[in-house]
Structure 1
Amino acid sequence: MNRRDMKDDDEKSQSVFQNLDKTTLFQETRYFNSTPVNPRKCIQILTKVLYLLNQGENLTTQEATNIFFAITKLFQSKDMVLRRLVYLCIKELSSTAQDVIIVTSSLTKDMTGKEDLYRAAAIRALCTITDSTMLQAIERYMKQAIVDKNPAISSAALVSALHLSATVPSVCHRWASEAQDAIMSDNVMVSYHALGVVADSRRYDRLSTVKLVLKMTRSPLRSPYTTCLLIRHAAKLAEEDQTEASEPYLQFIESCLRHKSEIVVYEAAHAIVNLRKSAKDLAQAVSVLQIFCGSSKATLRLAGARTLAMLTAKHPSAVAACTVDLENLISDPNRSVATLAVTTLLATGAESSIDRLMKQISSFMSEISDEFKIVVVRAIKRLCSKYPRKHQSLASFLAGMLRDEGGLEYKTAIADAIITLVEENPDAKETGLSYLCEFIEDCEHTALAVRILHVLGREGPKARQPSRYIRYIYNRVILESGPVRAAAVTAVARFGALRPELLPNIRVLLGRCQVDEEDEVRDRAVYYSAILDSGDPQLMNDYIVNILTPDPIRLERALHEHLESEHADEPFDMSSVPLDNTPQEIDEVHVEIEPKKAPTASLNELYAEQLKVIPGIEKFGPIFKSCKAINLTELETEYQVKCVKHIFSHHMVLQFECLNTLKNHYLENVRIRMESAPGYIDLDQVICPELPYDKPGYIFYMFRFPVNPIETLGTFEVTLEFIVRECDPITWLPNTFTGYTDIYILEDVEVYGVDQFKINAPNDEWEAIWGEAASMEEASDTFALAHVDAEVAALAVCEHLGLSSSAIGGEAIKEIRGVGTWRENIRVLLRARLAAANGSVTMQLTVRSQREDIATFLVAAVG
């Protein structure tokens, strides 16, 4: 081989995308203005454009517009590959570039031409740049494309309709007739996409959706994808309807377990596992999944093992029959399948088999991804609660995993499991804390180190030898970053407050921290030193041990409002901010690995943003509580209304979310007429000026609470008033004629006592908290509950109060413990004891509060 050949090989080995930058590419796109153009060179340049865009390169509007108009010159070329790349580039640039509408005529020409290779791609590109004003011009062509004999063209039109429905909601309704015909197409994808369009056109009309699903379940469908989509709609209807009317949906899903297509069989089994409540009804689905576990196809084995693992969390007894098949999967070459099999066996097996299974899974832990390692950790966490006597071996296994390499999410899952073990099992406290101390010596994640220090500060003083943990905590002050050092100072202070014998040494350590280079660390050290030096037990309890933490989101908002108000020069009142006592619970029912979703705003943040439209809302102060939305209409009605009660210190705002499901009606001046409960003072309402089809609108009604808490219990009679204007059946725009006034009767809105309280399970030692409240006002009463089982009754009481099940304790006599606040930031504590006798449950409820009328009010509200 000579030098020239070697040089050619080196040039070929280099990628054309290496060192690709935006400026150079702009220069290359100028070639599109040449006459004639070389299609091969143009294809290479367009490929670079698409590569750059898909690599996340952000183009300015001007840059995107320049490239877009340069690309439009290539419509003159007849090269098929080049033309299809042009369509792709138009789709990618349409959201950024200006005046993209200029290519509409060229795309319409290609869409209606004779070249099928152009038509499908042109339809997709055209619908990307189409809006409601242009839709009518291409509607006739789109309807023809939906019923076209070429499946690629028909699918392109149907998928484009689904994409268009995001900006033009009525598009699926307008093309539903053609899509209905396409459902019975011989092509599997056309049928699947057509059902998607028809179902989307009826998504707000339950009765119509029911008719569609019942009709399709009786029709022979050739496409397995269509059948899978139909199963999902049937399962959704069965979930919403718990009566006997849902039986046809269940029968259809069960019949699909005998389908010839494996994908349909799995979809049916998956639906039953997620739908059914009793283990008896799961037998057929479990049998199918058991067969999948023994399949020669790795995909079916993974599907079977994964779904059985999910089912184990809810019905472990139903999975017990698959033990032999799962045992065979432990040695599966696909480590994901083996991991799921072992975690399922851990959840369903006996205590004696745990050590053997742990030994088997440790042999391939290094070969699986962090996602599946987290599945293992969560399975072990459940075992810690199920078999407390095995805590030594389980904690040792978790500690070994903690030493391995892994990301923050994986390490956090392990730390969660050890922390839960420490909190739930007193025998494992010393062991678990030792492992946590060992981990923070080399912990690279600041947030996780801070959390573990908080746990050490809370649990360490209760241990038999608390002094042994102080060394690990103080090492963080010497070696770590500012946030970790600050958390370590707080943890050390808790030892001084709870263990008087360690107080002299703690003072010395805090004294050293007062010369730290970080402001936060110095301030905390001085603050805690002053409190400890005071020797006041109540002061130590309130500001070191049992700190009442305000809701951070509402605290930030309250501070902003205070600074922008006329009283910004006055001291800020922390007591006006509601407390954050909500325990963070991790949902571990579903162990399936789900794709990560983009973070979304919390419900409280969303409500706060919506309430900003109310003039003078800042005068009400911070929101104390937003209650769960309640439906004031049936789901099948033409106008759907939900109500959310927003509770403030002295005011209440009722937020009505209205949805118009009639596409031929356009509503204006939508308002609420309300018969207020006695004692309430009506303030104002913010109406919804217009309510088009399928777009939610909001109405806000403001009240002032009665002074007497008992008078706040009441019923509001609600009527919806609006002006109706008919819509043009072609454009679906409202006509120019004056509409007519109409009313719609809604369900009554009830205001309950528990709406005005936030009660949570106590996070720390309950007896100490309850004892400190002995000097408060107290109210007590005894109730006979309509239950025969004390545990069921306790769960019902917790649900009524918005409490988690962690608030329940005791065996024969159930005890519910709660700590919370009333809307005026009045602290309340409650203790309920439930006992079953002679076929009924008796509950003794005691409430302590700073005000007697509030304690009496809560007793009445619970009763």
Structure 2
Amino acid sequence: MSRDFHWLPNIPNIRKMNAFKRDKKEDEDGSNQFQNLEKTTVLQEARTFNDTPVNPRKCAHILTKILYLLNQGEQLGTTEATETFFAMTKLFQSRDVVLRRLVYLGIKELSSIAEDVIIVTSSLTKDMTGKEDLYRAAAIRALCTITDGAMLAAIERYMKQAIVDRSAAVSSAALVSSLHLTTVSGDVARRWANEAQEALNSDNVMVQYHALGVLYQARKSDKHAVIKLVAKLMRSSPKSSYAACMLIRMACKLVEEVDEGSEFLEFIESCIRHKSEMVVYEAAHALVNLGRSGTREIASAVSVLQLFSGSPKPTLRFAAVRTLNKVAMSHPAAVIACNLDLENLITDSNRSIATLAITTLLKTGAESSVDRLMKQIATFVSEISDEFKVVVVQAIRALCQKFPRKHAVLMNFLAAMLRDEGGLEYKAAIVDTIIAVMEGNVEAKEAGLAHLCEFIEDCEHTSLAVRILHLLGQEGPTSKQPSRYIRFIYNRVILESASVRAAAVTALAHFAAACPALLPNILVLLSRCQLDFDDEVRDRATYYCTILQQNADPAILPLVQPPQLSIPSLERALRNYVRSPMDEEFDISQIPPAQAIEEPAQEVLATVKPQQPRLTREENFMEKLLQVPELSAIIHDSILFKSSTVFELTESETEYNVKCIKHCFSDYLILQFDCLNTLSDQFLEDVRVTVDNQDIYTIVCEVPCVRLPYNELGSTYTVLKFPEDIQSTIITLPTTLRFIAHDCDPSTGIPDAEQGYGDEYTLEDLEITVRDQVRGTGSRNVDFSSSWENAATRGFVTTEQIFGLGANVTTLEEAIQSLVMFLGLEPVERSDRIKSGARQHTLLLTGVFRGGKEVLARAKLVLTNHVTMQFTVRSQDLEVAELMISSVG
């Protein structure tokens, strides 16, 4: 909607256009005459614009060169852009149609770089109000690109006239430009809504479409006005297919936002019977993506997509099969009816359609059809682009989860794809899939490691080689034959770049630490690495050799495989430690682990682009908390231990929405309350959430939200100090929202009176649990048995108790999930996964309680008529161990 829709009118003077045709020789050559342009030369040529009289053909050719350079990403300095812009303004002397339209394009391109561009305002205004229709639409677009808030009032009258102009091109250009002007002044669309309403009655399809866009922009902040607009148009049915598609999207948004959205859902379903294929597809696409669509709506949408999949038009077939591919991820049963049509598309001449068809069949087909479908994929997978190869890989990933017994066939196919040519994103998708299959299926581990070892022999991508070496270091030592992987790893030390060599050294050290039988041989290899010419490789080899030679120390494994720590938190802790007297040793257990940030799964991966390092959730919260002066004074020397998930203190439909996030530090608990005022006729001040501490917690301070206008999010904070008695920290606290309310005008948000009145709103009780004070260690491959056995020598105490887990927990899977979620401890050694049909299982858990107190827990689960658990906890602090036991009880 924000794109300029150019309208190409009939040009009466054909001779002027013929002047721009290329010679026959250029047509036959097919080469790009602009490919070797130099910016300096072209800008020198731009001086021709000052010649009198103007040579239209020559100037148009130079101006085309300038536009080509700008669209190729060439950067002009401010001085260069300004000189070129002012020279270009001389071309307004010419009445040549082609040259004038190029001038408009040049103004749009240079307006954001050059200075004093408003000098052409009068010329553009003259053109947009003139009688030459060929100038008017383009002049409007150019004028609006140079318009700022101060100039807006001067052109408002002309823009309103242009919106209702009899020329469809002029009206459409004015409507689209008014949408762009909302970035200059937010109320433009609202002020010009009457004219847009008149334009909505136009017979031109694009004018109607753009007018609806302006009307929605004018009313989008008022839900009732949008409902009224959509309800009116639903009855009259826009003639424009584009407007009908936009109306469907508006109705979809209302279905999600409004409780009584059944009439909008019925309208979307009725659009499936529209005469325009575009509208029919938009309606079907909307129905399958709506969260509130039922089985009937999805079935009707799928039936339409099934008809489109047999269309002679490739665009319709592609749109239908792509949407069915997406539906198959959430509603595979609904797509099964289309399997016969999808099988017919496997041989489609368009390989993109064939790929989507076969990947959809992979998601919906039976286990018996997997082998046949994989053979069909193999016949054309080399002919499709990397983008669609990624779709195939993702379908195979879903198939491995659905049919674990087929992992051998699927892994062999993935290994074959790894050997083919392809870019980084394609190879990364395959590696991700192989790793996911290994993690989800223990039987696939050996085959997966073997395929990855084979791949790194010829891997061209450093990032993938490093990742695979890290995986080998983590998983290889626990395989059936660890020694078989040493050769592949050491080859990387000999043949690869410094980054890969460093990763290989670390992987070798992991094998030596976990497999004592391999230690002597690996020490020889690492000693050779100490002669490497790269500093990082030499330092790693030296460090690991020194550590590994102390093989009698039970703490050797954590030193070789340290957890990945949060770098900003580590830096802050070290800075604070250096400023302190440093009487005690630095406690690294206080540092939270670096958490992987999960990206939402995408059906087609975008091109890989370099990304800025991203902070973890806790690091982001810490930065925001430090920006509040009252909080910074309390926590500036502290480390954020853990931030909880968002907890709703109100229902979503209430007039005030309040959510809470608990930020746990060693001694303090900061409660962050995010408040939203949903009443348009109220303006709130001094908003705070009071907490009844029940004489257990100490309230250190409260930070109110100074002002809370309608529909704006504001935050208030309460800082509590933990009681010395750890058992008392688990508690339920009543909360109340208090504020000063001002009645205000809903349209402007301005309070009616300066004096407000105090009010309060009761919220849900806030629970502080053991989970809020415990986090995982961040290391997935902890040697739990060694830590457990040596706990006594490290001063740990042990508590134990037997529990019956109650009638609500009927399976071992439910027991494991409940225990992990409730305690906040992290399962290690993949002990949270159990074999199918198992009647007993041992869950191993590790974590850290606030203050750096390590916790080890072992839960032996037995399933009879109900689940019985023997729960044992070992910790450096007896109170912490007893808290874990009592929390379960």
Question: Could you state the TM-score of these two structures normalised by the residue count of structure 1?
Answer: 0.86
Match of 2:877 among 845, 851, 856: 851
Q: Does residue 826 of structure 1 match 2:853?
A: yes
Q: For the structure 1 residues 613 and 145, does the alpha-carbon distance in structure 2 shift closer, same or farther, using more than 3 Å as the test?
A: farther
Match of 1:717 among 710, 722, 736: 736
**Over residues 59-92 of structure 1, what are the superposed CA-to-partner deviations in whole Å (9 max), with x where a residue is unaligned?**
2223222322333333343333333322222222
Equivalent pair of 2:162/2:171 in contact (CA under 8 Å): yes
In structure 1, the residue matched to 2:5 is: none
Deviates more, 1:421-430 or 1:742-751: 742-751
Q: Identity over the aligned pairs, expressed in percent?
A: 52
Deviates more, 1:175-184 or 1:27-36: 175-184
**Over residues 413-439 of structure 1, what are the superposed CA-to-partner deviations in whole Å (9 max), with x where a residue is unaligned?**
111222233333343333222221111
Q: How far apart, in 1, do the equivalents of 2:582 and 2:122 lie? A: 60
Q: How far apart, in 1, do the equivalents of 2:858 and 2:302 lie? A: 43
Equivalent pair of 1:817/1:831 in contact (CA under 8 Å): yes
Match of 1:246 among 261, 278, 281: 261
Equivalent residues in 2 for 1:79-94, closer than 5 Å: 79-94=96-111
**Over residues 314-356 of structure 1, what are the superposed CA-to-partner deviations in whole Å (9 max), with x where a residue is unaligned?**
2222222212111111111111111111112222222332222
In structure 2, the residue matched to 1:310 is: 326
Find the residue that maps to 2:738 and give its secondary structure. Answer: strand
In structure 1, the residue matched to 2:495 is: 479
Deviates more, 1:23-32 or 1:752-761: 752-761
Match of 2:173 among 145, 149, 156: 156
Find the residue that maps to 1:218 and give its secondary structure. Answer: helix
Match of 2:203 among 176, 180, 186: 186
Equivalent pair of 2:591/2:639 in contact (CA under 8 Å): yes
In structure 1, the residue matched to 2:423 is: 407
Q: Does residue 498 of structure 1 match 2:514?
A: yes
Q: How far apart, in 2, do the equivalents of 1:203 and 1:834 lie? A: 55
Find the residue that maps to 2:99 and give its secondary structure. Answer: helix
**Over residues 556-582 of structure 1, what are the superposed CA-to-partner deviations in whole Å (9 max), with x where a residue is unaligned?**
56567778x6889998653332113x4
Q: For the structure 1 residues 8 and 303, does the alpha-carbon distance in structure 2 shift closer, same or farther, using more than 3 Å as the test?
A: closer
Unaligned 5+ segments in structure 2 are: 1-22
Per-residue deviation, 1:808: 4.8
In structure 1, the residue matched to 2:12 is: none
Find the residue that maps to 2:236 and give its secondary structure. Answer: coil
Per-residue deviation, 1:294: 1.1
Equivalent pair of 2:469/2:507 in contact (CA under 8 Å): yes
Q: How far apart, in 2, do the equivalents of 1:75 and 1:733 lie? A: 46
Match of 1:126 among 121, 143, 146: 143
**Over residues 570-621 of structure 1, what are the superposed CA-to-partner deviations in whole Å (9 max), with x where a residue is unaligned?**
98653332113x4665654x53566889958667465455444323366243
Find the residue that maps to 1:719 and give its secondary structure. Answer: strand
Per-residue deviation, 1:158: 2.6
Per-residue deviation, 1:128: 2.4
Unaligned 5+ segments in structure 1 are: 1-6
Deviates more, 1:161-170 or 1:501-510: 161-170
Q: Does residue 77 of structure 1 match 2:103?
A: no
Letter in 1 for 2:273: R
Q: For the structure 1 residues 112 and 760, does the alpha-carbon distance in structure 2 shift closer, same or farther, using more than 3 Å as the test?
A: farther
In structure 2, the residue matched to 1:369 is: 385
Q: Does residue 591 of structure 1 match 2:603?
A: yes
Equivalent residues in 2 for 1:703-852, closer than 5 Å: 703-709=720-726, 710-711=728-729, 713=731, 714-721=733-740, 739-741=754-756, 745=760, 748=763, 750=766, 752-753=768-769, 754-759=771-776, 763-764=780-781, 768=785, 771=788, 775-778=796-799, 784=806, 808-810=832-834, 811=836, 819-828=846-855, 849-852=875-878
Letter in 2 for 1:462: T
**Over residues 159-189 of structure 1, what are the superposed CA-to-partner deviations in whole Å (9 max), with x where a residue is unaligned?**
2233233343333333334334434433222
Q: For the structure 1 residues 799 and 363, does the alpha-carbon distance in structure 2 shift closer, same or farther, using more than 3 Å as the test?
A: same
Q: How far apart, in 2, do the equivalents of 1:788 and 1:203 lie? A: 49
Q: How far apart, in 1, do the equivalents of 2:431 and 2:289 lie? A: 29
Per-residue deviation, 1:208: 3.7
Q: How far apart, in 2, do the equivalents of 1:161 and 1:844 lie? A: 69
**Over residues 719-748 of structure 1, what are the superposed CA-to-partner deviations in whole Å (9 max), with x where a residue is unaligned?**
344888979x8xx7989x994446675664
Deviates more, 1:381-390 or 1:489-498: 381-390
In structure 2, the residue matched to 1:548 is: 563
Letter in 1 for 2:283: A
In structure 1, the residue matched to 2:288 is: 273
Q: For the structure 1 residues 497 and 280, does the alpha-carbon distance in structure 2 shift closer, same or farther, using more than 3 Å as the test?
A: farther
Q: How far apart, in 2, do the equivalents of 1:493 and 1:58 lie? A: 50
Q: How far apart, in 1, do the equivalents of 2:882 and 2:725 lie? A: 12
In structure 2, the residue matched to 1:574 is: 588
Find the residue that maps to 2:593 and give its secondary structure. Answer: coil
Q: How far apart, in 2, do the equivalents of 1:322 and 1:161 lie? A: 45
Deviates more, 1:515-524 or 1:164-173: 164-173
Q: For the structure 1 residues 846 and 804, does the alpha-carbon distance in structure 2 shift closer, same or farther, using more than 3 Å as the test?
A: closer
Deviates more, 1:336-345 or 1:630-639: 630-639
Deviates more, 1:771-780 or 1:76-85: 771-780
Q: How far apart, in 2, do the equivalents of 1:682 and 1:280 lie? A: 54
Find the residue that maps to 2:851 and give its secondary structure. Answer: coil
Per-residue deviation, 1:310: 1.4
Q: How far apart, in 1, do the equivalents of 2:133 and 2:457 lie? A: 66
In structure 2, the residue matched to 1:3 is: none
Equivalent pair of 1:305/1:341 in contact (CA under 8 Å): yes
Q: Does residue 613 of structure 1 match 2:632?
A: no
Q: Does residue 394 of structure 1 match 2:413?
A: no
Q: For the structure 1 residues 675 and 445, does the alpha-carbon distance in structure 2 shift closer, same or farther, using more than 3 Å as the test?
A: same
Q: Does residue 534 of structure 1 match 2:550?
A: yes
Equivalent pair of 1:326/1:345 in contact (CA under 8 Å): yes
Find the residue that maps to 1:58 and give its secondary structure. Answer: coil
Equivalent pair of 1:235/1:250 in contact (CA under 8 Å): yes
Q: Does residue 145 of structure 1 match 2:162?
A: yes
Equivalent residues in 2 for 1:223-234, closer than 5 Å: 223-234=240-251
Equivalent pair of 2:738/2:758 in contact (CA under 8 Å): yes
In structure 2, the residue matched to 1:430 is: 446
Q: How far apart, in 2, do the equivalents of 1:176 and 1:662 lie? A: 25
Q: Does residue 334 of structure 1 match 2:350?
A: yes
In structure 2, the residue matched to 1:357 is: 373
Q: For the structure 1 residues 708 and 56, does the alpha-carbon distance in structure 2 shift closer, same or farther, using more than 3 Å as the test?
A: farther
Q: For the structure 1 residues 248 and 848, does the alpha-carbon distance in structure 2 shift closer, same or farther, using more than 3 Å as the test?
A: farther
Per-residue deviation, 1:247: 2.1
Q: How far apart, in 2, do the equivalents of 1:845 and 1:290 lie? A: 55
**Over residues 427-478 of structure 1, what are the superposed CA-to-partner deviations in whole Å (9 max), with x where a residue is unaligned?**
3333222221111111111111111111212222222222111111111111
**Over residues 361-405 of structure 1, what are the superposed CA-to-partner deviations in whole Å (9 max), with x where a residue is unaligned?**
111111111111111112222223333333332222111111111
Letter in 2 for 1:265: V
Letter in 2 for 1:58: Q
Q: How far apart, in 2, do the equivalents of 1:281 and 1:358 lie? A: 32
Q: How far apart, in 2, do the equivalents of 1:609 and 1:269 lie? A: 44
**Over residues 452-507 of structure 1, what are the superposed CA-to-partner deviations in whole Å (9 max), with x where a residue is unaligned?**
11121222222222211111111111111112111111111122222222222112
**Over residues 614-669 of structure 1, what are the superposed CA-to-partner deviations in whole Å (9 max), with x where a residue is unaligned?**
233662433333444566777788987765544433334455666788999998x7
Find the residue that maps to 1:809 and give its secondary structure. Answer: coil
Q: How far apart, in 2, do the equivalents of 1:673 and 1:186 lie? A: 55
Per-residue deviation, 1:696: 6.1
Equivalent pair of 2:425/2:607 in contact (CA under 8 Å): no
Equivalent residues in 2 for 1:516-531, closer than 5 Å: 516-531=532-547
Q: How far apart, in 1, do the equivalents of 2:99 and 2:799 lie? A: 82
Equivalent pair of 1:759/1:801 in contact (CA under 8 Å): no
Equivalent residues in 2 for 1:676-695, closer than 5 Å: 677-678=693-694, 679-683=696-700
Q: How far apart, in 2, do the equivalents of 1:293 and 1:270 lie? A: 14
Q: How far apart, in 1, do the equivalents of 2:199 and 2:825 lie? A: 51
Equivalent pair of 1:309/1:591 in contact (CA under 8 Å): no
